[in-house]
Chain A
Amino acid sequence: MSDKELLEKLKNIVTPYVQNKEGLENFDENTDFLNDLKINSANLVDVVLDVEDEFNIEIDNDSMNDMLRVLDAKKIIQLKLAGK
């Protein structure tokens, strides 16, 4: 899967939880789920669960701890996909 495809999938996943829709306009690796998109912290778990479903991977607690930016999520997804 290309980086572009992965980012596109991630964008679709987070969109329902985004409180600051303007943050989506500049969605890239540096986008921060909390600061830029204003995703409520309780919804971070939904992002993690949706990522698990979409990519058919399991995200352990340690990986979940770091999923605060698009870049972090991308790295974790690529790592888990490579290990499958």
Chain B
Amino acid sequence: MIGNDIVDFNTAALQSNWRRRGFLEKLFLENEQGLILNSEFPERRLWLLWAMKEATYKAHQRRFKLPRSFNPKQFNSEIIAGDNTSVFGKIQIWDCSYYTQTFIGEDHLHCIASQFQQKNTVQKILTHSTDIKQELILAVSELKKLPQAKISIEKDRNFIPYLMCDDDKINCDFSLSHHGIFSAFALSLTQC
């Protein structure tokens, strides 16, 4: 399973005061707080770790069909390798490991989490648009050779989105994300 998360740095700076008392402690484990506070760019590092947790949460929730939960400290994140533009990470929850790849731009970052180290995904990022769902439908329609007009996105009782073609569920692993001016999807090519 895969999950993705996008962070708009400008929106994040407006929406969150990460220096407020208790903010880091409620979201991050001690080792993660160290990674943030000892970083040259603590705010960027914070949103990197947050996106890794969010993307993994989506993959994990979908994998085990879990009800929603706000449990960021159950996800233990680790940075394996990377530089200022691309970071490879690993997240542990329960006895499951997930791998994350994050691309960091000037004004946003985008993270994709997967159960597998070698993930085969397509992703798309849009700005100033509400049409990410249509973009996803278009991509699935091309991949599965299904008519675009018959595909729709629904949500199950755990609010996990899934795809339908008329009355049939499309077996497809994907993830949607929105923040600020950005919206994104990730779509697995091996499980679609």
Contact = CB atoms under 8 A, between A and B. Distances in A.
B70 A46 contact: no
Contacts of A34: 68, 159
Interface string B1-39: 000000000001001110011110011000000000000
A10 to B, nearest CB: 16
A45 B23 contact: yes
B71 interface: yes
A65 B58 CA distance: 15
Contacts of B22: 45, 49, 52
Contact of B69 (A43, A52, A66): A66
A62 to B, nearest CB: 9
B119 to A, nearest CB: 23
B26 A64 contact: yes
For chain A, the bracket of interface size reads 10 to 19
A65 B50 contact: no
Contact of A65 (B70, B159, B179): B70
A17 B14 CA distance: 11
Interface residues of B, number: 19
B15 A44 contact: no
B61 to A, nearest CB: 12
Contacts of A17: 15
Nearest to A33: B70
Given A66-B69, A67-B70, A41 B26 contact: no
A42 interface: yes
B159 A43 contact: no
Contacts of B179: 40
Contact of A48 (B16, B26, B54): B26
B50 A42 contact: yes
A42 B70 contact: no
Contacts of A66: 69-70
Kindly list the 4 A-B residue pairs having the minimum CB-CB distance in the complex, ordered from nearest: A65-B71, A65-B69, A49-B22, A45-B26
